Structure 1
Amino acid sequence: MAADAGLDLSLPQQLTVILLCALTALVSHMALAVFNDGVRPFMLDFIHGRTTRSATTAVSFGLSAGFIFGLGAPMALSSGVLNPWLLFLPTDILGLLAPKKWLAPLLGAGWGAVVVFGLNGANEVAHDLPVDFLTAMQQMSTPILFLFTLFPVLAITKQFGRAWGAAAGVVELALVVLTMKVWPNMFAGALAMAVGVLLLIGLAVRRDLVQRKADREARAKAGRAAGSGGGEGAEAGARAEAAAPAPPEDDPMASLFTSSAARLRRYLPLFMVLGAGVCVLAQMHIFGGGEATSFLIAKGHISEAAQVDFYRFFGFLPLIATTALASGAYGIAGFTLVYPIGYLMPNPVLAAIAGAAVFALEILALSSIGKVLGKLPSVRDSSEHLRNAIGESLRLAILFGSLMAANAMGAGLGILIVGGLYLLNEAMGRPVVRMAAAPAAVLVGGVLLNVLHWLDLFTPLKS
């Protein structure tokens, strides 16, 4: 894996990270985009001057700190691949924190420099310790990759019931076994995830089509019933049917969505530069858009990584679109479609062109996407179930992988420390978010085991 060779980046890669961090801090300062989906709804009050920069910064820090230090840093150190929690959540905070526009990109560039130069040093120091907890954390890759495969099954079960969920589970298991047997060089979950997501989308579209047909028949039946009541009843029924679908002209949400989309379109060139930068970073294969993606890229499974992040795109599109239209602030990675496109691009020039084009299309189509999502309720619900299923599968996978890492670095004592820290975090009301609590516990546990070794109270396991 990449972590075995350290986190050495070439000069072009270092410059790309630093410049992109500077750019993301600038757009955050301008309240044009943030990476944290939880922060985006708060941006509306900031844009309209109803809250202060310092208050918005505090919200961003509170919602992001756990992910930065508990998930972003451990994932980067264990996989050897950078991730958006490590790069873009800090630039959200630094951009909002900067009191002056010119200072924001300087702070962002400074963070990028810390990442590209400091992370490699931390990696080398950690690998030289008696208890090498970074190598142990690579144990997380197997449960993350394989349990992540089940997210379509969870989404189908939640939305369409146990029968469909059980059928999807059997199909995915059979496809995983088939892939391992017939195509051993392919990531075993790739085909299974593809079929699961297609089944979910197919079921959602089918439900929407059936519901539309039922609605049309109901309206036709109501019209016939009104017509049988006489001329006046027919005329009244026709007037009611014609008037029913017309939305109110003074709809406040429609007005807000229109103004937010127009605000983002005014900065289209800047967004195109942002899209180009994110896509180029992905093309360099030093960056992964998610937990599973990071380990796939570290293992050299680039096409499978693109596949995984393509599914994330479906899960997060409705959330990003609606929060962007409601707040006037977009996502740093847009709808995240630039990730899989970037992985597959043959060179940085084509990646930059593709990323700029994708962001331009996303910004220009934002209002239309919002309207389409409003007409496909089941598909919109599927995206929410997909997003929740991704979170649930990864939470279990990360916890299980963290315990495997604890066992690798300290056997029973390691499990006691890491599991105990995770349970303590739960008992204290989760001051560290659940997704990040287990990897953070591994880092703390690794430090404690090294301290115990130096006190001659613990003998590291032989590798």
Structure 2
Amino acid sequence: MYDQGPGAVALAAGGHHSLSLSPTQIVLTVVICALSALLVNMAVAVFHDGVRPFMLDYRQGRMKRREIATIAFSLSSGFIFGLGAPMAFSTGVLNPWLLFLPTDILGLLAPRRWLAPVLGAAWALLVIFGLAGATDAAQALPVDFLTAMQALSDPVMYLFAFFPAVAIAYQFGKARGGIAFAVEGLIMLATAYFWKSLFPGALAMAVGMAMLVAFAVRRDVVNRRTARAEAAARGEELPVVDTSAADSLFGENARRLRKYLPWLLLLGGLTGALCATGVFAGGEATSYIVQKGDMGNAAQIDFYRTFGFIPLIGLTSLASGVYATNGMNFVYAAGYIAAPNLLVGGVAGVVVFGVEVLALSQLGRLFAKVPSMQDASDHIRNAINQVLEIAVLFGSILAGMHMGGGVGVALVGGLYVLNEAMGRPVMRLAAAPCAVILVGIMLNLASWAHLFTPIKIAG
């Protein structure tokens, strides 16, 4: 049920969400980390979108392995320790920032091919047993900051639904953005009132994405019609959109990815199976929804957010000849829907990756013809980041209040503001969760020194 009670969050549901995996989940996690590190070493797939463009230089010998690894670490460390680890701590659900970003780095660092999967497997074991031990230890402390961190769930899940309206405002103006927000808000209210068993944000997000696509397609149609009218007035014919340049640029790299299709199909199958076990989620909001076992709504949310990444992942894959470890992100939704059947999840992951890789060439031609959708992708990603920054900040302030009342709010908020004033040594998205963990440690030390009385979190 998605009742609107305050803190429907897991705080009221109480519970400690320890990272405890079954033998099957452990094996799947170890194998997928080993395989992802190997494919990075082979320059077949890499998770970080910012690293992928450099892989062409690496493949062609213009950059050395360690140079790429240094770039990968500098781009990824904030996400690993500031987002991936805290999210796994607070939900008990693994995520790609915690698994795939480190395997990017380890795969690039490995001087021998056989060493890459060994390092990837070792990282998986460290995550599984290290985080489980750290979680149990943290929950035994006087101030249980991990349970308090579950306060992030409601702000992240519900605010995330409005990223389409924010993207529309950026791309198509304030008026359309305001209309989209009003429509999404009304749908969310109606869903919460009439269909209490559904997650209110899912349908609102779907309608918002449909409006964004409609606005983008309409803009291209209008631009095309205007160009045709202007050409007719000059007595000219409107030239046909030329995709030969895209075919020439991307054709060889698309063929290279098809050559490695069996490896990518295996990766997709393992990812789909791991999602089907309920211990792995591909998104910030879906980590909290998978935690609740609501796979249907998790599938909807990750399906919609995928459209913001298709152009980025597709074009960087075609330009570099290196695919994404998580594909176009559709594999997450496929795995959730298959839960709890691992075999179905694995088959779904294989099918999804197969379709994606084989369709890459057609995707390149499509983006050459529909420029507004490519622009929309940039606005969607920016909107997602902006909404998540606000949602995570709100949730972290709530976590501070659960840990230490007004003092907790002041300390968490103060650390966040201090990070801003110091030029953001910790990236904004990770700053607030890191502040919660740091404040949790501070309050525990104060409790042991008899300077602070822990606040009991109502269960």
Q: Which category of TM-score, normalised to the shorter sequence, fits these structures?
A: over 0.9
Between the aligned partners of 1:213 and 1:74, the Cα distance in structure 2 is: 50
Aligned to 2:72: 60
Aligned to 2:193: 181
- Look up the SS of the partner of 1:411 in the other structure: helix
Q: Assess if the C-alpha contact under 8 Å between 2:243 and 2:365 holds in 1.
A: no
Between the aligned partners of 2:371 and 2:254, the Cα distance in structure 1 is: 22
Encode CA deviations 1:160-189: one digit per residue, 9 max, x unaligned: 212211111111111111111111121111
1:95 paired with 2:95, answer no
Letter in 2 for 1:215: A
Q: Assess if the C-alpha contact under 8 Å between 2:202 and 2:297 holds in 1.
A: yes
- Provide structure 1 residue ranges, at least 5 long, that are not aligned to the other structure: 224-236
Letter in 1 for 2:302: D
Moved over 6 A (4+): none
Between the aligned partners of 1:297 and 1:352, the Cα distance in structure 2 is: 18
- Look up the SS of the partner of 1:189 in the other structure: helix
Q: Assess if the C-alpha contact under 8 Å between 2:241 and 2:368 holds in 1.
A: no
Change (3 A) 1:272 1:90: same
Change (3 A) 1:99 1:439: same
Encode CA deviations 1:119-166: one digit per residue, 9 max, x unaligned: 111111111000100000000011111111111111111112122111
Letter in 2 for 1:72: G
Match of 1:367 among 357, 361, 366: 361
Match of 1:306 among 277, 299, 308: 299
- Look up the SS of the partner of 2:200 in the other structure: coil
Aligned to 1:358: 352
Aligned to 2:427: 433
Shift of 1:36: 0.9
Shift of 1:219: 2.5
1:423 paired with 2:417, answer yes
Letter in 2 for 1:281: L
Shift of 1:21: 0.4
1:176-215 alignment, distance < 5 Å = 176-215=188-227
Q: Assess if the C-alpha contact under 8 Å between 1:279 and 1:341 holds in 2.
A: yes
Q: Assess if the C-alpha contact under 8 Å between 1:3 and 1:79 holds in 2.
A: no
Worse-matched range after superposition: 389-398 or 207-216: 207-216
Between the aligned partners of 2:241 and 2:138, the Cα distance in structure 1 is: 63
TM-score, length-scaled by structure 2: 0.93
Shift of 1:215: 2.2
Letter in 2 for 1:312: R
Shift of 1:460: 1.2
Between the aligned partners of 1:146 and 1:314, the Cα distance in structure 2 is: 19
Between the aligned partners of 2:202 and 2:359, the Cα distance in structure 1 is: 30
Between the aligned partners of 1:111 and 1:260, the Cα distance in structure 2 is: 30
Aligned to 2:278: 285
Q: Assess if the C-alpha contact under 8 Å between 1:3 and 1:80 holds in 2.
A: no
Shift of 1:245: 4.5
Letter in 1 for 2:152: M
Aligned to 1:337: 330
1:314-325 alignment, distance < 5 Å = 314-325=307-318
Aligned to 2:228: 216
Between the aligned partners of 2:250 and 2:425, the Cα distance in structure 1 is: 35
1:232-271 alignment, distance < 5 Å = 241=237, 244-245=239-240, 247=242, 251=245, 255-271=248-264
Shift of 1:261: 1.4
Between the aligned partners of 2:51 and 2:129, the Cα distance in structure 1 is: 28
Q: Assess if the C-alpha contact under 8 Å between 1:3 and 1:78 holds in 2.
A: no
Q: Assess if the C-alpha contact under 8 Å between 1:278 and 1:355 holds in 2.
A: yes
Shift of 1:4: 2.1
1:105-254 alignment, distance < 5 Å = 105-223=117-235, 241=237, 244-245=239-240, 247=242, 251=245
Shift of 1:86: 0.6
Aligned to 1:396: 390
Letter in 2 for 1:289: G
1:11 paired with 2:5, answer no
1:348 paired with 2:328, answer no
Aligned to 1:457: 451
TM-score, length-scaled by structure 1: 0.92
Shift of 1:456: 1.9
Q: How many residues align?
A: 444
Letter in 2 for 1:119: L
- Provide structure 2 residue ranges, at least 5 long, that are not aligned to the other structure: 1-9
Aligned to 1:234: none
Change (3 A) 1:445 1:113: same
Change (3 A) 1:301 1:246: closer
Aligned to 1:376: 370
Change (3 A) 1:104 1:3: farther
Encode CA deviations 1:317-336: one digit per residue, 9 max, x unaligned: 00101111122211101100
Root-mean-square deviation (Å): 1.7
Letter in 1 for 2:233: K
Between the aligned partners of 1:431 and 1:411, the Cα distance in structure 2 is: 27
Worse-matched range after superposition: 283-292 or 204-213: 204-213
Q: Assess if the C-alpha contact under 8 Å between 1:25 and 1:91 holds in 2.
A: yes
Change (3 A) 1:246 1:195: closer
- Look up the SS of the partner of 2:309 in the other structure: helix
Question: Who wins on radius of gyration, i.e. which is larger?
Answer: 1
Worse-matched range after superposition: 412-421 or 191-200: 412-421
